[in-house]
Structure 1
Amino acid sequence: MNHLIIRLAHAHRATAATLLAEVNLYPGQELLLMRLWKTDGQSQTELANALNLDRSTVTRTVQRLEQQRLIYRKASATDGRATIVWLTAEGKRLRDKVDGLWDQLRELTLTGLTERHQTDLQRLLRRLEGNLRGSSE
């Protein structure tokens, strides 16, 4: 079972990488962008907490996305220690394309599963996650 879960995670990530390459993104970068599409202008600490990542990982991701001109950073007007991350116009324009790629990833992943199977799978995956996080969500 463990090997199957690992193989599934790797296959999912590899497929995501292939799809995201169409828009010059790597897996994980789209998650940070999605947080900003939901609420633009978040601190790097807020992003790290929301994505459950360490701050150094978020810093590297922010730097890469900034180099691609998808986001920019500014010092917080209210907290001199905080850096606020904002989407550029290009970063905002990328949203529909990434949403479409995520739809493709979902379709590829769930091919051949009935609605009932999808519902059951979602419930079971939540249960597995809860088990590993120490709760019965």
Structure 2
Amino acid sequence: MTTPADPLPSTVSDGRLSYALFQLARAHRGYAAAMLRDMNLHPGQELLLMHLFDREGQTQSELLEAVGLDHSTVSKSLRRMQEAGLLTREPAQHDRRAMVVKLTDKGRDMKEPIAAMWKTLEEASVHNLSKAQAETFITLAQLITKTVTGRDGEAPATSGLSAP
């Protein structure tokens, strides 16, 4: 992994922030994945469970929108979670094509371990930051997310992107 003292690849000279975000996301996800493995979960499954803890009985489409992942990823995750006994999926009463996702007792029992894992992840993430730095980072990260997803009202910039 590249450290701040290591030289950056020459192709990122005009993209240092993006490269730093990539490194951060990879490191953060790796740390979280190790903790999730200890709970027999795959990355992303905890997010689905967290949304179900707050509002059980959502459709797969609602969960898909809530976590921002693609359909095949969510469908595969839900299938694995159902096989692990964490949730059930059944056709909705109002639309038999829609699948309603509900937690099992085993799934509900994951709430405290996931909350503890998330707290540990947060503590590690902010360990060397002041409270003000952490709040500034959160604000900036949310702004960057809105910008690159086009949720700031403008389309993300794509200038200079072309295949050879």
Shorter-chain TM-score tier: over 0.9
CA distance in 1, matches of 2:141, 2:65: 22
- Residue ranges of structure 2 left out of the alignment (5+ in a row): 1-15, 154-164
1:27 aligns with 43
1:124-135 pair list within 5 angstroms: 124-134=140-150, 135=152
Aligned pairs, number = 136
TM-score by length of 1: 0.93
- CA deviations on 1:56-87 (whole Å, 9 max, x unpaired) are 22110110001110001111122111111110
Higher CA-based Rg: 2
Tell me the residue number matched to 2:34: 18
Q: What percentage of aligned pairs have identical amino acids?
A: 34
Residue in 2 that maps onto 1:89: 105
- Select 2:81's aligned residue among 48, 53, 65: 65
TM-score (norm 2): 0.79
Give the corresponding residue for 2:6. Answer: none
SS in 2 for 1:86: strand
What do the CA deviations read for 1:10-56 (whole angstroms, capped 9, x no partner)? 00000000111111111100011111101101111111112222222
Cα root mean square deviation, aligned = 1.3
Q: Which amino acid aligns with 1:82?
A: A
Residue type of the partner of 1:124?
A: L
